[in-house]
Amino acid sequence: MSQNTANYDENKVPDLILSDPFVSEKGKLIQTVSEWEKFRRPEIFRLFQDEVYGQIPKDFDKISFEVISETANPYPEIADLEEVNITVERNGKSHTMRINFFLPKTGKGPFPVILLINYLPKYPDGKLADEAFWPVPELIKKGFATASFHAETVAPDLADSFQNGMISTLYPEQIGQANGLKALGAWGWGAMRAMDYFQQHPKVDSKKSILVGHSRTGKAALWASANDPRWAFTYANESGCGGAALSKRKYGETVGAINRRFPHWFADNFQKYNEKEEQLPLDQHLLPGLIAPRAVYYSSAKGDQWADPKGEYLGIQLGSRVASEIYGKKAVFEPEFEALEGPVHLESVGYHIREGKHDLTWKDWELFLEFWDFNWKR
Ligand code: GCU
């Protein structure tokens, strides 16, 4: 199925039978934070790990950081650029990934930090990304430190070579396991290693940290944050199928479509549900609950029907129930998707939809940063 042959007819969306976040596999009603954290969250985490994304291994022997500097800083007036090699060793082998890290020149810090997982090719003028996609000067002027790494510095984005980064070097035993580490998990692992760097950096307030991903890296950011509680905010823009959007709606991109085009992204087990979404023992509405009570924000574009904006909205609307009903946040998403008149910015959860096509734009950043301000200043 391609973007042209996908279903975009709301009347053809099947009736949704979605599992209840608050009933455990053994039928126990889950009402308190301790019941959630002890029983239900681990069950849901395991389902996502085994059936959707695959494992993200947490162990290694050593991590080291080396600030090297090769590229000219495109913003020398306002920011310092640290290019950092992060080397991780395990079982006598090592993998080095690279992050590009901008710190404000004014102010003493420690600065809140925004990490973007990038996957776009280098911009023609030598900049690391298009300035709307990663608006470094604007973020610096607002007092953030901001970093990005390219997905391929961790794992190539190709079906026949995705293992040829950190997976085969550091975690070869994952290869071939039905719930083994794949590319999305590897990119998420990269975000964790960047966080290791921030945590020891005197100018970074790593407690005020934001992990951002667009589309395929939005999916990776969500799974990374479910694995790593050090991220205070997680922002997934247009992450669509296998990210924000409900798979069982079969609207736009489907599980079969994504697994056939990108067999290296998800756990091999996810293939069992190609054209059989109704058999999934979970859906993406359970994902925000793995991040709660930390903040999670989704956004969609009206011209990005492939990512199923309504499915993304339902993912966060239903998903926010953990924040509100278990953690007591003011996080009840009231409006129906069709009645939305602007961004929904609540305590620890938020959403917006904008005009235009599939892209991470300045408008998206602006609205997300309003959500951030609302949550820190509330
Ligand atoms: C493709 C893919 C999407 C993905 C997108 C992207 O369109 O089908 O699932 O989100 O690429 O990463 O831009």
Within 13 Å of residue 241, how many CA atoms lie on the same side as its CB? 28
Ligand 1 mean position to 215 CA, how many Å? 6
Ligand 1 mean position to 368 CA, how many Å? 21
Q: What is the DSSP letter of 33?
A: H
> How far is CA 100 from each of CA 79, 86, 114, rounded to the nearest angstrom?
12, 11, 12
Ligand 1 mean position to 299 CA, how many Å? 15
Residue 160's Cβ-count burial label (10 Å; 0-12, 13-18, 19+) is exposed
Residue 219 CA: which ligand 1 atom is closest?
Answer: 10
Cβ atoms of residues 192 and 212 within 8 Å: no
Ligand 1 mean position to 51 CA, how many Å? 20
Assigned token pair, 68? 């090297």
Tens of pLDDT, residues 228-267:
999 999 999 999 999 999 999 999 999 999 999 999 999 9
Cβ atoms of residues 155 and 186 within 8 Å: yes
Q: What is the dihedral of CA 57, 151, 361, 346, to 10 degrees?
A: 0
Cβ atoms of residues 180 and 268 within 8 Å: yes
Residue 358 CA: which ligand 1 atom is closest?
Answer: 13
Cβ atoms of residues 280 and 248 within 8 Å: yes
Residues of the chain with pLDDT under 50: none
Q: What pLDDT score does 129 carry?
A: 76
Cβ atoms of residues 332 and 317 within 8 Å: no
Hey, what domains does the chain have and what are their CATH numbers? 18-58+108-148+156-376 (3.40.50.1820)
Assigned token pair, 196? 């290791």
Q: 214 in ligand 1 pocket by Cβ < 6 Å?
A: no
Q: Which residue blocks in 106-172 are alpha helix, DSSP H?
A: 136-141, 166-170
Ligand 1 mean position to 23 CA, how many Å? 32
What SS3 state is found at 118? Answer: strand
Residue nearest to atom 8 of ligand 1 (CA): 258
Q: Which helix (H) or strand (E) holds 41?
A: helix 41-47
Measured in whole angstroms, how far is the alpha carbon of residue 332 from the centre of its chain?
A: 22
Q: 215 in ligand 1 pocket by Cβ < 6 Å?
A: yes
Closest by CA to 194, choosing from 239, 243, 150, 244, is: 150
Tell if the pTM clears 0.95, that is, is over it: yes
Q: 253 in ligand 1 pocket by Cβ < 6 Å?
A: yes
Contacts of 377 (CB under 8 A, 6+ apart): none
Q: Are strands 204-214 and 111-118 parallel, antiparallel or unpaired?
A: parallel
Tens of pLDDT, residues 115-127:
999 998 776 665 6
Cβ atoms of residues 209 and 234 within 8 Å: no
Residue nearest to atom 13 of ligand 1 (CA): 215
The two counts, helices (H) then strands (E), for the chain are 11, 10
Angle, vertex CA 366, rays to CA 330 and CA 204, nearest 5: 80
Q: What pLDDT score does 9 carry?
A: 98
Q: What pLDDT score does 181 carry?
A: 98
Q: Which helix (H) or strand (E) holds 111?
A: strand 111-118
**Residue type at 94?**
S
C-beta atoms surrounding 164 within 10 Å: 12
Phi, psi of 39 (to 5 degrees): -110, -60
